[in-house]
Amino acid sequence: MASNSIRRHSPNFLAAKILAKVLQGQPLEDALYEHHESKDIALLTFLCYTTMRHYYSLHQRLSDISHRPLDHMDIEVKCLLLLGACQLQYSTLPAPLAVAHVVTAAKKIGKTSAGSLINAILRRYDSTIEPSMDEARYELPQWMIDRIKFDYPNDSDEIFRTSIARAPMTLRINISEICSSDYCALLQESKISFEQTALDHAITLVKPMSRSKLPGHEEGYFCVQDLASQLPVSVLEPQPEHRILDACAAPGVKSRQIADVFPNNYVDAYDIKPQCSTWNIAKDSGNSQNLVFKQGDLTTTSWWDGSPYDRILLDAPCSGSGTLSRHPDIKVTRNEVDVSEAAELQFKLLNSLWNVLAVDGILVYSTCSIFIEENDRVITRFLENHQDIVVEPIELPIGRPTAFGWQTLPKAQAYDGFFFARLRKQKISS
């Protein structure tokens, strides 16, 4: 049950607190989850996601009418201004009421002296003015705009458009519990509209909704999972009783998929993060008899029991640049140094995990990034350091081939951007 403190605060009050945490580095999804029992969670989600999705244009419009730079203001005051601008720009709430709600929230937060400033700025806000700066036009930081244009000169416009679109809600049907046609029949009986996808066991809801309201939620009939995110597991192709490692597994969605699709295989799911609520969602979404969640630092082999794995899925930590429509906070909180640091970690993980892969075993490397630095360049560097690697071809129903793997680019109302490479470990002749 939600606490009284959560229930009595206004949506603008809570949203300002959430956005302040996000601008200080906490993922938006995690910050929102702290309030998942709030009666206003739907409105909170709209306010926070819309503000982050359009952060750069809202920021520019406010900066143009403010005598003080936004980034020099108290962080909660800045967030209240962004929330006010968001509602003036993207909600149907009458402007005077939207401004009044934000000013009231400022007083509740303890920023009474800033109330007049917020009121004055928001009353001058003009939603009809088109932003002039590239960052505001594309809703992306300049470094990200430049990198996307460089890596994908022919696709950059669509990537930019997709980054501000609302992410679709795609379900992976758990065929170990129910066949796809039977689950689709359940949706039809519940009058829930959906569309078929390029994958046999995945559907996209026409209108996103709470998973708890979907049929089969308690029975583990489905898992909410982006279409492109479902592809790395299909590339594993294990034989019965093969030992499988899901590396960097949190929050466990792909671990759950491996266990569902390959019920005859033993799956170890490792992550450096301790188990948390999101892991529990994955564990509770189906039969977990062949799946074990463990904690360990996979940049070393100190966690390893010495028994080689036949298949390894390394869904490596990355910039998340392929998921901007789903995680709009990434474009505000990440920087170009983060990309280089991620590439170093990815290379380190590959080198470590190669030691625990059996000869003739397969490692599938994947990221939810579209940046070449985290994808083909990491594989290039890895190949230069090992003589026992065979890069195997991949062909999937969506996406395109790259130098060493396969890439999906973000597509509005369809799927995220993902990279995959399939590496086989060969025996080196002495």
Give residue-wise pLDDT tens across range 44-80.
999 999 999 999 999 999 999 999 999 999 999 999 9
How many beta carbons lie within 10 A of that of residue 126, not counting itself?
10
Residue 365, CB-side half-sphere exposure with 13 Å CA sphere: 33
Q: Give residue 2's pLDDT.
A: 43
DSSP code at position 165? S
Residue range 144-191, pLDDT digits in tens: 999 999 999 999 999 999 999 999 999 999 998 999 999 999 999 999
- List, in order, residues 6 or more apart from 254 with CB less than 8 Å away: 229, 232, 233, 246, 313, 315
- Can you give the C-alpha Rg of the chain in angstroms? 23
Examine the pLDDT at 5 and tell me if it is beyond 50.
no
Residue 275, CB-side half-sphere exposure with 13 Å CA sphere: 11
Cα–Cα distance list, 199 to 231, 263, 398, 415, 418 (Å): 9, 20, 9, 12, 15
Of 48, 86, 248, 368, the catalytic one is 368
C-alpha to C-alpha distance for 310 and 287, rounded to whole angstroms = 22
C-alpha to C-alpha distance for 355 and 352, rounded to whole angstroms = 6
169-224: CATH topology is Alpha-Beta Plaits (3.30.70)
Apex CA 67: angle with CA 65 and CA 72, to 5°? 110
368 annotated active-site: yes
On whether the 4-138 domain is CATH 1.20.1260.10, my answer is no
The most distant pair of C-alpha atoms in the chain lies apart, rounded to whole Å, by: 79
Higher-pLDDT residue of 7, 93: 93
**379 alpha carbon, distance to own chain's centre:** 22
At 430, the pLDDT band (50, 70, 90 cuts) reads low
Q: Give residue 36's pLDDT.
A: 86
Ramachandran region of residue 285, left (φ > 0), alpha (ψ -120 to 50) or beta? alpha
Residue range 338-350, pLDDT digits in tens: 999 999 999 999 9
Examine the pLDDT at 132 and tell me if it is beyond 80.
yes
Q: Under CATH, which architecture does the 230-425 domain have? A: 3-Layer(aba) Sandwich (3.40)
Q: Give the predicted TM-score (pTM) of the model.
A: 0.92
Domain boundaries, the chain: 4-138, 169-224, 230-425
